[in-house]
Amino acid sequence: MTADEADGKRLELARLAMDLIAKRGSAVTRNELAAESRSSRARIDEIFPEESDLFAAVVELWYSHDIEVMERVVASDLPIQRKFYEFYAQRYMRERERFEEDPALFALYVELGEGHFEQVRGYIDLADHYLTELIAQAQVEGFFSGLDIDRALSLINQMLIAYTSPQVMLMISHRLHEEKLARIIDTIFAGLSAEDNGSSGVNTLRLASS
């Protein structure tokens, strides 16, 4: 079997595993995948030497849309503010679609991801990598003045976590919307910098005098 054929078989089995997860409402083992695919256990083990390799293939398929979006947006010639919006909005709308299609299945994937966080972490780190590229592009145009890239990354992630975290989406999905996302991004570009405008200078609370 060629490398391309092996990759194609791995993708086919990952899709079958996702179908089984949706059908059964639980994680899928290599034994179960072998039975459903009518493949030998030896063949499954050749493609997925460990149980974690099967889950890694499922995670890769889950995030494939996000990776395609991020690569395309970063390489585009859109204005930088619009790049930021598309970078978040396209991924958020896909996650919202998944959530609305089947909230219980979405919650199951969140639970599975939490149980295999080290495998999910790589995709979080990859998203941060693409975001740092956007931040660098924005700084060339004069935005986020005085902030190093890591600091800007941390601040932006905190401000937009509701649109990237499936856990948060489960809790407040009804409060999230593309229009709100656009306003948040506009606000980030209007004011995010290292300048102290007074909020960090207050070290005690004072009652206003009447």
What residues does each domain of the chain span?
A: 1-49, 62-191
Whether 86 and 71 have beta carbons less than 8 Å apart is answered as: no
pLDDT in tens, the chain (210 residues): 677 777 899 999 999 999 999 999 999 999 999 999 988 999 999 999 999 999 999 999 999 999 999 999 999 999 999 999 999 999 999 999 999 999 999 999 999 999 989 889 999 999 999 999 999 999 999 999 999 999 999 999 999 999 999 999 999 999 999 999 999 999 999 999 998 877 776 566 666 665
For domain 62-191, give the CATH superfamily: Tetracycline Repressor, domain 2 (1.10.357.10)
Q: Which of 163, 63, 160 is nearest to 120 (CA)?
A: 63
Q: Kindly state the tokens that stand for 56.
A: 């890694």
Predicted model pTM? 0.89
The pair phi, psi for residue 76, each rounded to 5°, is -75, 170
State the sign of the Cα–Cα–Cα–Cα dihedral 38, 40, 41, 46. Answer: negative
One-letter amino acid at 69 equals V
